[in-house]
Amino acid sequence: MITLYHLEKSRSFRIVWLLEELKLAYGLDYDLISFNRDNKTYLAPKELKAIHPMGKAPILVDDSLPVGEQALAESALIIEYLLKTYDREQKFYPADDKAWRDYTFWMHFAEGSLMPPLVMGLILSKACEKSPFFAKPIARKLKDGIGKMILNNNVSSALELIEQSLAKSPWFAGSEFTGADVQMYFAVAAARERTVLPSAMTATRAWLDRCESRAGFIKTVEKVGTVF
C-alpha cells in the first residue's frame, strides 16, 4: 500500500498529481492523508516529524519497501521512485538518451535554479509585510536592493531558458509529458502566481495550460484544491 502525506498548497501537490496520472494509466491505488498549515506560522504541522525526521511534505510511504526504509521524502526522489517502480510501460519517463538528458536537467533545475530566488523573494516580501511600521522603509530598501543585485536577474534568466525550451517542444523532455513536467510545474506556476512570468512568454503559458488541462491534474485539484 502506498500512502502520501500531503500538505495543503505545497510542493506535495506535484506528487498527488503524479499519483493521479499513474492511477489513470495503470489503476495504481494510494491513500492520501492531507494536513493543513499552521494558522500562525503557515508551516507544516509537527505531526509530520513522526513520519519523517524533516517533517515536511511530501512524504511517501510504501509498505513494499523494507521496514525502516518505507518513508521517502523530497519530490524529485519520490517522482523517480514512483516512475521506476510503478511506471511499467515508461509512459512518463523518457525513452531515448537526448530526452533523458533533458528530463534529468529539468528535474534538477526546478529546485536548484528557479525555486531558490523565488523563495528568497517571497521571504523578503513577507519580511516587509511583517516589519513594524517604522522599519518598513528599511525592509523595502533591503528587499529592492537584493532583488536588483541577485534575484531578479536569476529569475529572468531561468524563465528565458524555460521559454526557449518550450518554444521548441511541447514538454520539457520533448514531445511527451514526463515526470520532469510534474517537477517543473510548481516552480513555473509560482512565478506566474507572483506575477514575475512575463505575458510575452507564450510558450511557457501554453505549457501551463497543457498541464492544467490534463485529466490527472484536474483530478488532483478536485482532490486537494489548487496549488496556491
- Three-state DSSP state, 199: coil
> What was the pLDDT predicted at 42?
79
**Single-letter code of the amino acid located at 53:** P
In the predicted model, what is the mean pLDDT of residues 13-32? 98
> What was the pLDDT predicted at 119?
86
Taking CA atoms, 117 is separated from 121, 128, 190, 203, in Å, by: 6, 17, 11, 22
Count of the separate structural domains present in the chain: 2
> What was the pLDDT predicted at 131?
67
Same domain, 117 and 154: yes
In the predicted model, what is the mean pLDDT of residues 40-65? 92
Same domain, 10 and 77: yes
Of 12-16, 40-44, 64-68, 166-170, the least confident: 40-44
- Per cent of the chain over pLDDT 70 is 87
pLDDT digits (tens, 9 = 90+) for 145-171: 665 666 688 899 999 999 999 999 999
In the predicted model, what is the mean pLDDT of residues 88-102? 96
CATH of the domain at 189: 1.20.1050.10
The residue among 92, 118, 137 that closes a domain is 92
Q: What is the pTM of this model?
A: 0.90
**Single-letter code of the amino acid located at 168:** K
> What was the pLDDT predicted at 139?
59
**Distance between CA atoms of 103 and 106, rounded to whole angstroms?**
5
Mean pLDDT for all residues in the chain? 92
> Where is pLDDT greater, at 95 or 125?
95
Same domain, 81 and 16: yes
Same domain, 154 and 82: no
The residue among 57, 92, 127 that closes a domain is 92
In the predicted model, what is the mean pLDDT of residues 178-207? 97
Same domain, 56 and 77: yes
Residue 89's closest CA among 151, 165, 31, 22?
A: 22
The residue among 70, 92, 114 that closes a domain is 92
> What was the pLDDT predicted at 191?
95
Residue 176's closest CA among 25, 12, 42?
A: 25
Domain that holds residue 175: 97-214
Write out the H or E segment, with its range, that includes residue 24. helix 13-26
Same domain, 188 and 205: yes
> What was the pLDDT predicted at 121?
72
**Distance between CA atoms of 8 and 5, rounded to whole angstroms?**
10
> What was the pLDDT predicted at 149?
62
**Distance between CA atoms of 52 and 50, rounded to whole angstroms?**
6
> What was the pLDDT predicted at 148?
62
Of 38-52, 114-128, 202-216, the least confident: 114-128
> What was the pLDDT predicted at 201?
98
Answer yes or no: is 228 within a domain. Answer: no
In the predicted model, what is the mean pLDDT of residues 197-201? 97
Same domain, 60 and 133: no
Cβ–Cβ < 8 Å for 169, 133: no
In the predicted model, what is the mean pLDDT of residues 78-106? 97
